[in-house]
Copies of this chain bind each other. A is one copy, B any other.
Amino acid sequence: MNVVFVTGNRHKFHEALHILSAYGIHLHQDTKGYIEIQSDSIEEIVLFGIKEVMKRARDKSAYIIEDAGLFIEALDGFPGPYSSYVYRTIGNRGILKLMEGVKNRRAKFVSCVGFCSKDSDPVLFKGEVYGNISWFERGSHGFGFDPIFEFGSTGKTFGEMTPDEKSACSHRFIALKKFANFFMEYEKERA
């Protein structure tokens, strides 16, 4: 089962490759990109994006895209859908500075996977995990905001987890697992 993952982010691609290989799904990377719109809703961004990808899809391939964001309760959801831009500019240091003296550390990571193929309308799969913003950066695994996100009640940041540990519990894992279960049924029906 072949699936094309449209993403320029090699970290995301390797996380997804790792997760989906357990389902016998062979992932290929397409770095051509797609139009990302501005929206407060990650689902809206992914739905628009996967429709764009579908327009240029000329073969029978199955395509996925993924968008994710860190939503911090005390900051009204910031950085949310603009997590990538915010990481590139103010980074983890900026987030920790904004959270100085803030008692409510609650945050969630949201991932949305969008799927399409020539035989299917777009379908979205969402994964959410809850945790807290740490008081300082910890760990060197993962990417982006991983070192400042303490997962659940483990006390460990995503940055302190090995790739295997993170892949077994992350927002991206939850969304991709939903996609994988859907896709296996989808392939059966087509066979």
* B-binding residues in A (CB < 8 A): 35-38, 40, 45, 48, 75-82, 85-86, 88-90, 94, 97-98, 100
Contacts and interface: CB of A to CB of B under 8 A. Distances in A.
Given A77-B89, A90-B98, A98-B90, A38 B36 contact: yes
A143 B108 CA distance: 30
A55 to B, nearest CB: 14
Main secondary structure of the interface of A (DSSP, over half): mixed
Contact of A76 (B48, B79, B82, B89): B89
A37 B40 contact: no
Contacts of A98: 90, 94, 97-98
A40 B85 CA distance: 8
Contacts of A81: 85
Contacts of A97: 97-98, 100
Nearest to A35: B37
Contacts of A85: 38, 40, 78, 80-82
B76 A80 contact: no
B94 A86 contact: no
